[in-house]
Structure 1
């Protein structure tokens, strides 16, 4: 039976994407946008020499994770991105777990993505415009070694 709208069903409506939080180690940070929560299995193509089929078979290979891009407004005295990026030395960096939580209408965790061993690979400062009236936005690109997703 279809919903007639007389009662609100918890399973009918998809989650809104505007309520989320990001936690780095134990520090919670506010972001305007998070993108790149992707994972894929690279296909391996194989064909045995004595196969009767004239085509390859495809098997799942290594997993590949996308870089995660986060954007936030710039605040006076806030240099957390730059401090973390400044810790990069020859093949060493403090890797942090990053937890991204999508919240439901009541603010409870609905979906939780966890990035393992994350570290910054790129920071982009804001563009500057003499006639602009937008908020100054800075961007950080984070690489990681694993993405898990937990649906609550």
Structure 2
């Protein structure tokens, strides 16, 4: 597929890259799945005195779900594992360090088609999925991140 058609057809969702602020633009490891890239406006219902036909729905602010990353269990030397260990295993003796995260949807030439940035992200959950003696699958870890806001850059 040429780059001419990349702008015509919707991009595939399987070729992407996640970059963390502490890895200086290098990819830590491949991820199986990224989810939680959405924004929603919180609303407040206000009843107007004397008007019974409707209520006003007013915007309050934007909320974001957690960003979830899934991948095969990485070695202890992975920058993401080091970051998660510092948050979950040091008993808060050191401050939690937030960092920017960028998710890029790539084309066949490894060029970004779409880019999302997530500001001030930090891990809030680190989970290893179930092991099963009847499974023939890779052991998966899931890292759940909170962030303050996101932007779509491209």
With normalisation by structure 2, the TM-score equals 0.81
Distance in 2 of aligned mates of 1:130 and 1:80:
30
User: Contact 2:72–2:141 at 8 Å: present in 1 too?
Assistant: yes
Once the two structures are superposed, the pairs formed by residues 54-133 of structure 1 within 5 Å of their partners are 54-88=53-87, 89=92, 92-133=95-136
CA gap 1:10/1:121 in 2 versus in 1, 3 angstroms: closer
Query: Any gaps of 5 or more consecutive residues in structure 2?
Result: none
Change (3 A) 1:132 1:48: closer
Q: Runs of 5+ in structure 1 lacking a partner? A: 1-7
Give the CA deviation at 1:132.
Answer: 2.8
Shift of 1:127: 2.4
Q: 1: distance between equivalents of 2:144 and 2:84?
A: 11
SS for the counterpart of 1:83 is helix
Give the root-mean-square deviation of aligned CA atoms: 2.2
- 8 Å Cα contact 1:100/1:114 also seen in 2: yes
Q: 1:48 to 1:75 in 2, by over 3 A?
A: closer
Q: How many corresponding residue pairs?
A: 143
Is residue 75–residue 81 contact of structure 2 (8 Å, CA) maintained in 1?
Answer: no
Structure with the largest fraction of helix: 2
Identify if the C-alpha distance between structure 1 residues 119 and 150 changes in structure 2 by more than 3 Å, giving closer, same or farther. Answer: same
Contact 1:81 1:123 in 2 (8 A): no
User: 1:58 Cα shift?
Assistant: 1.5
TM-score normalized with structure 1 length:
0.82
Superposed counterparts of 1:137-148, under 5 Å: 137-148=140-151
Runs of 4+ in structure 1 deviating by more than 6 angstroms, as ranges, are none
Is the 8 Å Cα contact of residues 45 and 58 (structure 2) preserved in structure 1?
yes
Tell me the equivalent position of 2:11: 15
Q: State the distance in 1 between where 2:76 and 2:43 align.
A: 46
CA contact (8 A) 2:74 2:81 kept: no
